[in-house]
Amino acid sequence: MSDVKRKIIHVDMDAFYASVEQRDFPELRGKALAVGGSPDGRGVVATASYEARKFGVRSAMSSRVALQLCPHLIFTRPRFDVYKDVSTKIRAIFSRYTDLIEPLSLDEAYLDVTVDKQGIGSAIDIAKAIKLAIQEELGLTASAGVSTNKFIAKIASDFNKPDGLTFIGPSKITSFLEQLPIEKFFGVGKVTAQKMKGYGIHIGLDLKQLSEHELMRKFGKSGKFFYHMVRGDDNRPVKPNRISKSIGIEDTFATDILERSEMITEFRLLCEKLEKRLSGKSKEGRTVTIKIKFSDFTQITRSKTSTYYISSSDDMLALVLELFAKADTEEKRVRLLGVSLSNFYDADLEKLSNPQLRLF
Ligand code: DCP
Ligand code: MG
């Protein structure tokens, strides 16, 4: 791949949750809308419509503050199942154009279209076709960035939001990066941006004046990364995520057990272990499945799907015990018990670990 220029598209939906709400509820169209927690409590804004953004309302802002900025702001609760469904449909559209898709969140993905699956001709035309399909089939707008690497494609998609399409070809990359404000660089957060400004680094060109060694001295490992980024050096491949469908844990006993109370104790332990494993991956799911294997190696599984995304051992155990209560183990010895969680909404992706929001 090194000598062949790759063609990368980054697609990001515009005001995702809010646009879906405005699509489904016409009375919200054209209105300043915040999807998220109530301003009465300690809720936060998940996202705001572009009408609300004019007033400074932003993701992750407290809903109370948002209301102060924009007194006529309308609040609605998120409907995750709907967003997830839209997300699945967006990915199905992507897959018509390429097999190399790397979703970053529900509303965002990198596509490598170097191999032109439909023979459309150019990456720009592929991006146009994708935007059109999303518009016509889902009634939503997306912004796309087209370039030869992931970093530039991602910045490009953000360039002309909403409903934007920005192409940054190889000949423009250098000047584009030199003029780019440093806070727009991949990996530069608020703190790093402040620090850079302290050194007089405001745009890419300033960053470029520093040697790799100097950057590493100032910013550690990230310095090396910045050195390459500002030169448009980003060979990271588009990696289709192997998103796991379920995560589970099971235990085979040294000696088979007969007592239901012992099984309950074991389920409790399994849920605790599963909670740990899930938190490492920051996963939340809605479906809990129990598995019971008997001494004769026959087994049963039972599943239940909750209305909410869960990941705590208590929440899982509640469902497990409900399932277990209905599972007949009478007179049978059990050799293995298992618990798994599936139907994930990557907690990572939805960024809504705020309990106020998760409760709806
Ligand atoms: N989200 C969230 N909490 C955040 C950021 C985002 O819950 N702190 C959710 C709501 C967004 C969705 O993720 O609709 C996608 O995030 P984006 O950052 O892509 O933001 P939007 O799609 O809402 O707006 P933009 O048009 O800027 O992409
Ligand atoms: Mg978006």
Q: Is the pTM of this model over 0.85?
A: no
- Tell me the best of 50, 59, 165 to mutate to test the pocket of ligand 1, counting ligand atoms within 8 Å of each CB and taking the most: 59
For the segment 312-320, the average pLDDT, to the nearest whole number, is 95
Q: Which residues line ligand 1 (CB under 6 A)?
A: 12-17, 46-47, 59-60, 105, 107-108, 161-162, 350-352
- Is 214 among the residues known to form the active site? no
Q: How much distance in Å is there from the Cα of 123 to the middle of ligand 2?
A: 21
- Maximum distance among all Cα pairs of the chain, rounded to whole angstroms: 77
- Please, which contacts does 60-67 make with residues 24 or more away whose CB atoms are closer than 8 Å? 60/351, 63/34, 63/36, 63/37, 63/38, 63/39, 64/39, 64/40, 66/34, 66/39, 67/39
pLDDT for the residue numbered 43: 84
Q: CA geometry: angle at 355 spanning 352 and 360, to 5°? A: 85
**CA–centroid distance, residue 239 to ligand 1 (Å):** 22
- Specify the pLDDT at position 242: 55
% of the chain exceeding 70 in pLDDT: 92
Whole-number pLDDT of residue 346: 57
Task: Pick the more confident residue, 73 or 235.
Answer: 73
Least confident of 2-16, 141-155, 194-208: 2-16
Question: Residues 226-271: pLDDT tens digits?
Answer: 999 999 888 889 988 655 678 999 999 989 999 999 999 999 999 9
* pLDDT of amino acid 48: 97
Contact 104, 98 (CB under 8 A): no
Would you say residue 312 has pLDDT above 80? Answer: yes
Task: Mark out the alpha helices in 242-288 (DSSP H runs).
Answer: 260-281
Is it the case that residue 281 has pLDDT exceeding 90? no
pLDDT at 186 over 90: no
Check whether 174 has a pLDDT greater than 50.
yes
How far apart are the CA of 120 and the centre of ligand 2, in A?
26
**Active-site option among 108, 266, 284, 350:** 108
pLDDT at 359: 36
